[in-house]
Structure 1
Amino acid sequence: MALDLDKFRQVGDPLADDFIANYFSNADNKKKLDLALSKLKTNANWVDFLAEIPEAIFFDEELKRIGLVDLKIKNTALEFYSKKSTYILQLLGLLSLPYCYAAADGAMVLYQTERMYKDVAKRLEETGMFVASMMNPKGFDETGDAKVQLFKVRLMHAAGRYYILKGNWDDNLGLPVNQEDLAGTNLSFSLIVIRGLRKIGFTISYQEQMAYINYWSWIGAALGLTPELLPQNGKQALDLEKAISGRHFKPSLAGKQLIKSLLQCFYNLNDRKQIKNVEIAGFMRFLLGDKISDMLDVPKEKFPVSKQLLLKLKATVS
């Protein structure tokens, strides 16, 4: 049975949205929340945070409802990440983010938040920290911060909806940061990363693929995604990705501006000792493929065959 994705474009995250509306509608309440969040650094701080912000108990109740992720799945996913973390973090910036920008309606939300193109380096750093927290074997211990990171990202999405809806938002695009767009983003961290690893030469077992997708589906549930949009195997992930990309991937001014800012960030960070700026664009095009790259105006540079072979060689010995 096909999913009614149009329906999910009208759905946000009611629990987090109500929480944010409650605190953001009053200046004193918002100030209180901001201060409490600034002190919420690790999971050990959660009890004190709840004492100040008792309504945040909804997140504990959600985690209890979702249940713990299967330990075997989690351990396989964490081991998979540990062995390939350097490549995965690179792919998040060079493949996963551009993949999200190709979804024109979702790109408009990212563009309106401004941080995605005015503070790209900080956004990349935050994304890397979030993934590292999720993949830390001790991330959910008292000394870790995985639970805190999940909560803060969930609130960030709700805050984005709250502010964007107060502006000049086109309702025909659905809710900003809606369930369908969140599902596409979740796939960019799992299926799309696996696709990128294979493209640069890694051999990934079915067990590894299943575990990584399943673990990210659990993370998605903790971030407020409905179970219908959380794939439990490779076929479900592929079918969902095809449906979402088929509906939304097209050229857009927002997507092109986001890519331009992202590439400029990489250029600024590049010391040009091992790779030229044009090769960064070429690598991005190599990963995305020409069809999506052309939608986003990724420069038509070639990624040298010699470096493609070097990547594959590194993959075989990693």
Structure 2
Amino acid sequence: MMKVGIIGSTGYAGGELARLLLQREDTEIIWYGSKSYVGQKYASIYQNMFQFVEAECKEDNIEELAEQADVIFMATPQGLCASLVNENILSKVKIIDLSADFRIKDVGVYEQWYKIKHASPQFIEEAVYGLPEINREAVKKARLIANPGCYPTCSFLSIYPLAKEGLIDMNTIIIDAKSGTSGAGRGAKVDNLYCEVNENMKAYAVGSHRHTPEIEEQLSKAAGKAAAISFTPHLVPMNRGILVTAYASLTKTVSYEEVKAVYDKYYSKEYFVRVLDKDMVPQTRFVEGSNFADVNFKIDPRTNRIIMMGAIDNVVKGAAGQAIQNMNLMFGLPENTGLKQIPMFP
């Protein structure tokens, strides 16, 4: 029985962690951490947990939690995990951080894009970027996981095979991404009010979204050369989901069969990445509530470009589900343990 603590349990990612972990027979959530709701019953904040969780929310005491838990999920804003983690804690418990604190290897880039000083840069190099499809073996041996962002997960999985095989010009990548409003978090913001979001769609953080350097760093690593991307996210009036449509110039003429073989080379044995049949396009409604990523592509010979498409549930594969996928690997369990939920429809 794994003992699990969730710091930041009352955010959307934290709530999804609880929902998924409570369905398992091999885990026990011993700590529902929440800075805003200390002393309140967890089920009073998330009523879907009524009669499933009797516990009250506790403060973010990571030192005490490290003495009790086997793994701690940090579903917290940027900066908090880095300010709390230390060698003593990492010697006692495994940490899976859902924030960006350890995703970017260049501390200067992190501080430039996130506008905060990194509190524990000594752990950046050790932290494993927790995209299991790419870093599976490193994840198994890690004690600190940097769980990828939602946009980077969907973008990277859509583009990775072609970047790895050198079939696209890494300086021509344009990523058009759309997310449901849960991606903005549970905090009260005027821009996320019903009347602001309903019947509306907008681009935001144009040319400045903080996931840009994370995507560039991972794609550069895959390609073995520097990548410069244009990334524009959009907010759409739905609860969950990310849809990515990415464009890049081809480095040579290729057929559908050749490109399909490349995707199959990397993903045919991956449980959670589904390469769709020809002429099928990824749709958010067909991954909702699941840890699956649907990907596909379309060659445009007229412009010598390829369109790469992907869809995930931003709260599951883009956050909580991927974090649990990493936990499974860290503890020697089958990767899909507790994550076999078929996407919900309708």
**TM-score w.r.t. length of structure 1:** 0.32
Q: Indicate the structure whose relative CO is greater, using CA pairs within 8 Å and at least 6 residues apart.
A: 1
Which has more helix, going by share of residues? 1
Which has more strand, going by share of residues? 2
**TM-score w.r.t. length of structure 2:** 0.30
